[in-house]
């Protein structure tokens, strides 16, 4: 029971930390779209047709070049071609203790990224450990019957 409880505490703390970071990243992206100081221009370099993704290079505030691959919607996909120069929102931020560049061609409502998958995985682990703690607590209350030898 103690190991299940420790597992529950560990996955719960990781879940809340990842959840907080995901909310932080979403707020960073929303602030990215609201301020015009983060606008730059980039040339579209590559296109992956089956997933509607464009690749472009963006420089950060320190002069380092980053390659960004971004999924775009159907309407914008019809307008853009490889070699086009497009306005890009970009900003260097600190995510999970590491300096990263976030960039986007267009403002998006829902931002799918790896932390949401990790968050779902940790939530599932939290549920499993919670069920195990509950079952072990119930089983510890049930007295064991000893068989009589005849």
What's the domain count of the chain?
Answer: 1
95 in any annotated domain: yes
112 in any annotated domain: yes
129 in any annotated domain: yes
3-state helix, strand, coil in the chain (%, to 5): 50, 30, 25
149 in any annotated domain: no
Predicted model pTM: 0.66
pLDDT at 127 (0 to 100): 93
42 in any annotated domain: yes
146 in any annotated domain: no
Greatest distance between any 2 Cα atoms in the chain? 90
135 in any annotated domain: yes
pLDDT at 113 (0 to 100): 65
Structural domain that includes position 84: 2-141
Mean pLDDT of the chain: 82
Looking at the chain, the whole-number percentage of residues with pLDDT higher than 70 is 87
CB 100 within 8 A of CB 66: no
* pLDDT tens digit sequence for 11-63: 999 999 988 888 888 888 778 777 666 678 888 888 887 778 888 998 888 88
pLDDT at 49 (0 to 100): 78
Chain centroid to CA 47: how far?
A: 23
pLDDT at 48 (0 to 100): 83
Residue position matching structure tokens 């691959």 = 69
| Predicted confidence band of residue 140 (pLDDT cuts 50, 70, 90) | confident
Q: Rounded to the nearest 5°, which phi and psi values hold at 67?
A: -95, 130
Task: Look at residue 148 and tell me whether its pLDDT is greater than 70.
Answer: no
148 in any annotated domain: no
* pLDDT tens digit sequence for 104-138: 886 555 555 667 788 889 999 999 999 998 988 88
CB 110 within 8 A of CB 10: no
Q: How far apart are CA 91 and CA 28, in angstroms?
A: 9
């Amino acid at each position: 029971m103690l190991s299940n409880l420790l597992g529950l505490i560990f996955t719960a703390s990781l879940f809340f930390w990842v959840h907080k970071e995901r909310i932080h990243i979403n707020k960073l992206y929303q602030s990215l779209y609201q301020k015009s100081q983060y606008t730059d221009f980039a040339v579209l370099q590559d296109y992956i047709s089956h997933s509607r993704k464009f690749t472009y290079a963006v420089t950060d505030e320190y002069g380092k070049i980053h390659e960004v691959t971004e999924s775009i919607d159907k309407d914008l996909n019809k307008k853009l071609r490889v070699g086009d120069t497009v306005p890009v929102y970009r900003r260097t931020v600190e995510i999970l203790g590491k300096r990263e560049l976030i960039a986007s061609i267009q403002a998006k409502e829902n931002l799918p990224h790896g932390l949401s998958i990790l968050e779902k995985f940790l939530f599932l682990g939290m549920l499993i450990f919670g069920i195990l703690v509950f079952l072990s607590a119930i089983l510890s209350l049930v007295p064991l019957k000893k068989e009589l030898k005849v």
